[in-house]
Structure 1
Amino acid sequence: GFYAPAQLVREARRQGVRVLPVEVGRSDWECTLERSTGAAGPCLRLGLRLVKGLSRGGAERLVQARREAPFSSAGDLSRRAGVHRGELQALAAAGALTCLADDRHRAAWQVMGVRPALPLLADGVREADPPLAPPTEGENIRADYAMLGLSLGRHPLALIRDRLARRRVITAAAVAERRQGSLVRTAGLVLCRQRPASANSVTFVTLEDETGQVNLVVWKQLAARQRRELLQAQLLGVAGEVQREGEVLHLIAKYLWDYSPLLTGLVTHSRDFH
């Protein structure tokens, strides 16, 4: 569809739906509904299909093996589900092995120790994990986006809000409070870029931060002058003029900045010109 999974998940959470992470002990290939203690209604469990590097066949074997008995370790999963090393590494990096290891670092260590099973050693004693520092919040969020295309943690811009504030960048929520004709500076992850045939070469861009979204109007002249920033930035900064038509707010872009280096390794993907 037109909307990326990250957008759909954020909207579901905004509507009060509890979203649960991808987990080899619970997830099917598709996203599913499940009951959870303390939740008023069904929760949405993210599916294994979101994990980059995991094949559908591998996921289906995993689910079938899990129905027979819960997994006790990454090695047990590998042996019973026939999941190869690369797919195990993808599951660990995606945070999907946390039911078998406390965090991504410990999961990755377990996967490193998985060897092809020998009949006499298949149920051998597993060595204890070494003391490993858990991943930081930023590391977890970057790994989420790299491996799943979304995160259930804080929005990435919440982690760099102080650095954006030093550039006089305000939030989407603050933009929404400004009057018609106000000049503002804001920034957000690029969700989509659109250039409808009927729009006379105007480009529409949707930005998102931890407080909401801002819709930009980029006229042809600015688009030509700042083509690189417009088309390549993951984190796009903009100085613009607030335009209101009833309840609808747009920001008429006057100047663009590529703030992507502030994301320090975060990989996001926008939906462009569909």
Structure 2
Amino acid sequence: MRKQSAEALVKSRQESGAFLSAEDLVSRVPVLNRKELTILARVGALNRLDGIEHRRDALWQIERAGKMEGPLLREKSHILQEETLSLPLQQMTTEERLISDYAGTGLTIGKHPMAYRRDALRRLRVSSAEELKTLRDGDYVKTAGMVIARQRPGTAMGFIFLSMEDETGIANVIVTTDLYERERLVVTRAKFIQAEGLLQNQDGVIHVKAVSLKLVSDQALEVRSHDFH
């Protein structure tokens, strides 16, 4: 969102109170363009407005409200209201909501993406970042998460360090040069990775020295990681 639009939105809310509907928002903050209104609807920012049931409903109402050009239609916005109370669009699925969150803001205020997969991961004996703390040094473990950082220090003999986040914390994974050569695309491109290997749990410092890596998900989430810095 443009700074000008964000400031106008905040000013209107401070001066005139909460927005009552999509039409009210469009009328009071005319500087918001269609793209910005769509982003607000997609990330769930409009879900608490009166008459909006979910994100796709917000998109529908923003589309209708955006057609009210000129003062005459804005004064008589009720003529554009639907006669039926049935909603024309289905609610977004969990995955669609996550995709919208990360595309619009780079994060989600709901559950972490890994939380939705935890039951399936437990059946595969994949440990969370928190559970790794309870395991012994030298145990063979499986863990998985969303890659938030990739580092390849010049002093690390070619090793790569992955930081993988789940709903419980961060797991650190060591990737050897041989494994990197075998799984180069997974290491450099995958957003969600499952790693297997030996746990290093010494003095509260925990790493997994990976012997295998695989893609967990190909979700279209626009996840941003910090790579090789």
What residue is the counterpart of 1:108 in the other structure? Answer: 59
Give 1:187 deviation, angstroms: 0.8
Residue of 216, 223, 229 corresponding to 1:268? 223
What residue is the counterpart of 1:240 in the other structure? Answer: 197
Q: Does 1:72 align with 2:44?
A: no
What residue is the counterpart of 2:33 in the other structure? Answer: 84
Amino acid at match of 1:273: F
User: Highest CA radius of gyration, 1 or 2?
Assistant: 2
Give 1:177 deviation, angstroms: 1.5
In 1: Cα distance, 2:96 partner to 2:183 partner: 31
What residue is the counterpart of 1:120 in the other structure? Answer: 72
Query: 1:162-181, aligned counterparts within 5 Å?
Result: 162-181=119-138
Q: Does 1:254 align with 2:206?
A: no
Residue 7 of structure 2: SS of its match in structure 1?
helix
What residue is the counterpart of 2:48 in the other structure? Answer: 99
In 1: Cα distance, 2:74 partner to 2:15 partner: 17
Give 1:116 deviation, angstroms: 4.5
The answer to whether the 8 Å contact 2:133/2:201 transfers is: no
The answer to whether the 8 Å contact 2:146/2:192 transfers is: yes
In 2: Cα distance, 1:99 partner to 1:244 partner: 46
Percent same amino acid at aligned positions? 38
Give 1:218 deviation, angstroms: 1.2
Amino acid at match of 1:72: L
Residue 223 of structure 2: SS of its match in structure 1?
coil
Question: Aligned-pair RMSD on alpha carbons?
Answer: 2.0
Larger relative contact order (CA 8 Å, sep ≥ 6): 2
What do the CA deviations read for 1:143-169 (whole angstroms, capped 9, x no partner)? 222212111212211212233334442
In 2: Cα distance, 1:87 partner to 1:250 partner: 42
Give 1:198 deviation, angstroms: 2.2
Amino acid at match of 1:119: P
In 2: Cα distance, 1:75 partner to 1:86 partner: 16
Query: 1:136-155, aligned counterparts within 5 Å?
Result: 136-155=93-112
Q: Does 1:60 align with 2:17?
A: no
Amino acid at match of 1:60: E
Unaligned runs of 5+ in 2: none
Count of residues in correspondence between the two structures: 219
TM-score, length basis structure 1: 0.73
Residue 65 of structure 1: SS of its match in structure 2?
helix
Structure-2 change in CA distance of 1:136 and 1:260 (3 Å): closer
Unaligned runs of 5+ in 1: 1-53
Amino acid at match of 1:109: W
Give 1:74 deviation, angstroms: 2.2
